Each structure stands twice: as structure tokens, then as C-alpha cells.
Amino acid sequence: MTRTMTFDDDVLKALGKQESIELLHLMVLIRQFEQTAYLRYLQGEIPGTLHQCQGQEAVAVGVCSVLESTDWITSTHRPHGHALAKGMDPAAAMAEIYGRETGCLGGRGGSMHLGDPDIGMLPSVAIVGGGVTLAPGLAFAMQTQGSSSVVACFFGDGAVNEGAFHEGVNFAAVKKLPVIFVCENNSYGASTPFHETTLNTDIASRGAAYGIPSESVDGMNVLAVRTAAERAVARARDGGGPTLLECRTYRYVGHSRGDARGYRSKDEEAQWEERDPIEQWKTVLLDSGLVAADEVDETIKSAKAVVKEALKGAQNAPKAAVHTALEPTAIFAAPGGHEGEPAGPLEEDPSTHEDDRRLSIAEALREGIQEEMLRDSSVVLLGEDVGVPGGFGGAFGIYLGLSEEFGRARVVDTPISEKAIMGVAIGGAIAGLRTLPDLQYADFIFESMDEIVNEAAKLRYMSGGRISIPTVLRSPVGASQRGAQHAQCPESFFLHVPGLKVLCISDPFTAKGGIKAALRDPDPVLVFEHKLLYGAAKRQEAGSIDSRAYVPPDEYEIPVGQARIRRRGKDVTVVATFTELYDALSVADDLANDGISVEVIDPVWLAPFPWETIFESVGRTGRLVVAHEAHRTGGWGAEVAARVSERLHGRLKAPVLRLGSADVPMPFAPWLEAAVLPSRDQLTETIRHSANWTDHITLS
């Protein structure tokens, strides 16, 4: 072929014979791996799908050749080349795409999710742009820990139009994080030409917008990629911050298995194949005299033999055992990661304590966070307006004084970038920190749903329990006359996501013990708090709610999965959170005068839910009312009603009744808001109906 690759004789000599051969070996290894996998896929041996990278080998090999074993990479739905270039055993990679027990992730990841923490590779993120927010998190942890390690973040041209790209690159730039952002620009997002979706197709030019160096590189030239990556890595290690590399390359195959490439011309493909990275590198090595022809042949033969052996191993390896898919320990690292609870419910009511040490929820949260930051130097708080001197201390002042005490390296102000905040929190947690991200309002959590649902919740499971993500997201919820976009109670969304723990804080005692338990937990915890309960507050119907209570100065936790029985009763069980919990306690006092004995339970942990506590209580009373401010349809009360009905059918004296907000967005005006929210009067009437249920009574 005609050689189009240019090279510097001095650079080639400095690279040396052994390293030059290794670059060839890795590129051939990747090409052969991809070709072999493709053929076996066509034979029906490999399940799922394949996204291959034939033609792009020089990018993965060039970048990874300058990384150390302690460096990390993040990859995409097209991860085979990156994994092999970073040092993954081809046998483990092949077995994984076969779904075998000996795969790098035990068959849980498959082709789109190759990864191995031992070689510094996260399970690859199949969501376009997903790794661009995680990589700064890994780098943030390395920077915080004083490590010289760096992170290479691979992504395609389509990702640069994702919000994650802007947020991740901007965050890394602002904090001068050691990240090399590597864009594999193959000119197509699936089948759509990049120029049809993007006016400025010069991806490297985007670096200027973030104030970071950037470079456009011939991605078919392994030496050019390596040289550019070497500069970027050196800069990152020296504290110079991130670099954006645009590697112009081409994939010879379609986007995935079913892509016949009808959107590309034969001439276009032929022109790129003339610049094949493997053939060009062979020509360079032979023309330079650095490597003899027989050595090139032996290198190619050796790489093919490795893949052949990997294929044989995968074909003969046992399938991943079915029971491993259902092991609770693969979902959670800590106790409470399965149905049931680690301890019985807490019955003490601290509000009756005679000690005058009464704190608000805000004060109790601050005390718990402060104690954990003193106890564990890996606890890092990051979010919007959390640490600026003279600033807000968070949207509700929870963090006031913490930046002065712990410094701004541990109380980290961030851009208004919810995806980046959560991505950094997750990546930082994976790399050894305990992160406490803050998004100000629960309504803003939807901006970071990809990071929470697709990454925080799944990476432990996908890695076979080899990755832990100790991150705690605090989110204020509830109506407070702020309108529909600052009033939601989204906690029910996350009960549907295996891999997340959900904590609802309704009083100061739970606030301190709960936040401490969450910050010590090795799994991702979402903490929800009602904004009207941070101190004494007013509700339109309920009047004044004083949420201040006695909080012990001593060490204590509310263990994961432990409920609190706030009041004992024998006629009706009420399970409630937040403001509805206070209404339930008040209503229970009133109904006691009418001879109706109400048991009130604060579940505290919605995931894992304290099922045995609820079953035991309802088994005694025979009646259950669930009250929450979340919308009635699809609220967590619906799941409680279903499970109680399944478990205690035949022992119930009345149907399970639920009370929640009306199924409309929350209005602003106080009188309109009150009409949507569940009221104290409605709760009273619902409990009466349950206690006096007969077949002819119906509820509207």
C-alpha cells in the first residue's frame, strides 16, 4: 500500500524496537479479536450485539501505550479495543462477550460493558457521553489523594453534542483535573454523518471554550496518537489539567451487527482503508529498518494465536451460573441489601427526653456531617453554593461553617452542572472517596438521572461486586409555595431501581443517625428531607409544625433498613413520612379520645424497606393506612399496599388505604397547593374508615 503515515526518525528511534513491535502486536490483537468475535457472532455463539472498532485500533493503542497500570480509562459501547489496549486478558474479554463465568465481569457486562478495576478500567458505559462525567470524578479522587495517576476518557463524536460533554469537560477544566478527553471522531453517530448534526465539525476547537489545550490528531497514525497522548498525560501528571484530543479515525464495519452501511459510499471506505493503521505501521517499521520482515510476521502470528486460544477458552468455559444473577451481595455491599432488616424497629421516642438539647433537622444534619468529616478524612462534600465564604452553606444553610472548618478542598463548590456533580461524586467514590453531592432541590435530580440510575445503581452489580460506590445524595423535597418545579417528592422513582438505598428523614433524631449511617455505607444512598421540616414551619392546614427534638450528643446510627415505631396502637397501622408523619401522630392523639388506637410507623428507609416491621404491625392490627406527600398514583404507598395485601391476605380486616397528593403538578398559590396536598382532615377520615370498615363503605 502507499504509505501516508509521517513520522520523525528521532521519535521512532526513541520509541525503540520493543515498544514499536508491541504497538503492532496490540493493534493486530484488537483487529483479530474483533474479526473473530464477528464471525462467531454470525454463527450464533455470541448473544446480544456487537459494536466493533476495526480501523480505530491506533487510537486505543496509541493512548493506552503511555498510561501506567495505576491510571484509569473510561470507555463506550464500543470498548473491545480500549480494554485490550489497557491490558485486559483477551481470554477474559472473549469469555465476557460469550457470557461465561470466566469473563472479566462474570457475564454480567457483555460486549458493551467490558471492564476490570484491577487494570484501571471501569465497566464501559453504553450511554453516549456517560463516561465524560465519571472520568473527572476518578481524576478528582486522584487529585484529592495526592496521586500522580491520570484518567483517559474515550468517547465518540456523537457525545460532543451531549450535555454530559459540556458539564464533564467544564468541571475538569475548572478544577484542573488530570483527564485526557479522547474523542474518536469516525465521522458518524450510528448512521448519521456528523456534519449533518453539527455545524462546527472541528471538535478540537471546542477546547478553547473551556480554556484547555486541544489537538486534532491523525487517528490512523499510531505514532501521532501516542505522541499527542504523551504530551497530554505529562501535562496532566504535572498538574496542568485536562487536554482534549480529537483523533480523526474510521470504523470499517457498521455501527452494530445489523448495520449494512448503506449510508456510506464504497469510494469513501476505500480511501480510509488505504490509510489502514496496521498496514501503515508495518510499512513504517520495515522501511525504517527498525524491525525485520520475519519479526513483523512473527508478531502478527503471535497475536492471532493469542486470540485463537482466547476463543477456545471462551467456548469451553462454563456459562455464568444462574444463581449469581440473583445474589443480593452483588447488588449491595452492606447489610440491609435484601428484603428484611438488620435489626428490629426503634421504639424510643427522643422527643420525650427531658434533656433540653433540642435540635432542628438542619442542625442535626450539620452535626452528623461534621462528625463524619472529622472521623473520616475521605468524606468530601461537593455541590452548588456549599463552601463560598459568606455564601449560603447550601440552599438551606445545612453546611454553614463546614468550609471554614475543613477547607475548600473538602467542601468543594461546583458549577451548576447536576450531571457533572453526580458523575464526579460517583467516580470519586469508586476511586476511594466518600462523596456527599448536593443538588439543592430534589426537583433537579432529574438532570442527573443517567448518572444515578445507569451508573451509581449498576456499576457494583456489573462489576460482580468489585466496585463500591459510597456516595450520599441529599435532596430537599415537598411543597412549600414555590410552584411545580420546586415542590416534588420523587423518592418513589428510586424504589424501582435496584442498587440504590433510599432514606427519608422526618425528624432531627433520624437526621443525625441517618446521615451518619448513610455516609458510612459502601453503597449509593439517596437522602430525602422535607424542606418545611428543617426548622419549625407552617403548613396551610396543619398549622405550626415544631420538628425540633432531642438529639443525643453521643455516637449513634439509624441502621440501613431500620424503621421507627413512633406510637404503639392496636386498631390501625399508619405508615407515614415527612409532614404526613406529624399529621398522623396528631390525628392519633385525637382518635384515642374516640377509642381508636393508632400505631404510627416512620419507615425511615424506603429501600431496603422494613417489610417485617410493617407485616408484624399490620398482622396485629389487621388494618393499614399509608400516607405520603408524593402523588398517590405510583407513590411508594402503592408498593406497600400491594405487598401487604399479598402477604397478609385473609388477615386484613379492611382494604389497605392510601393517601397522597392529587395527581396534578403542584400549584403555587397557598390555597391551591392546600387543595392538592393530602390534608389532616382527609387523614383523620381515612383512618376512621379503616377502623370502622364494613363492606358497604366506599371511599371517593
The Cα 133–Cα 169 span in angstroms is: 8
Nearest alpha-carbon partner for 208 in 243, 237, 249, 163? 243
Contact 290, 12 (CB under 8 A): yes
| Strand partners for 473 | 526
Furthest C-alpha separation in the chain: 99
Tell me which residue has cell 393530602: 678
Q: Are 430 and 469 in contact (CB under 8 A)?
A: yes
Per annotation, catalytic residue among 82, 486, 530, 689 = 486
Whether 25 is a known active-site residue: answer no
Runs of H (alpha helix) within 491-577: 508-520
For 428, counting Cβ atoms within 10 Å of its Cβ (0-12 exposed, 13-18 middle, 19+ buried), the class is buried
Q: Which residues, in sequence order, are CB contacts of 615 under 8 Å at separation 6+?
A: 644, 647, 648
- CB-count burial class (<10 Å; 0-12, 13-18, 19+) for 193: middle
CA distance 281 to 24: 7
Q: How many CB atoms lie within 10 A of CB 598?
A: 26
Which among 560, 543, 528 has a CA at the least distance from the CA of 628?
A: 528
- Scanning the structure block, which residue is given the C-alpha cell 524491525? 291
Tell me the backbone φ, ψ of residue 111, rounded to 5 degrees.
-60, -40
Q: How far apart are CA 113 and CA 64, in angstroms?
A: 18
Distance CA 120, CA 117 (A): 5
Cell numbers that stand for 583 in this block: 399529621
Q: By CB neighbour count within 10 A (0-12 exposed, 13-18 middle, 19+ buried), where does 290 fall?
A: middle
Q: Which residues are catalytic?
A: 486
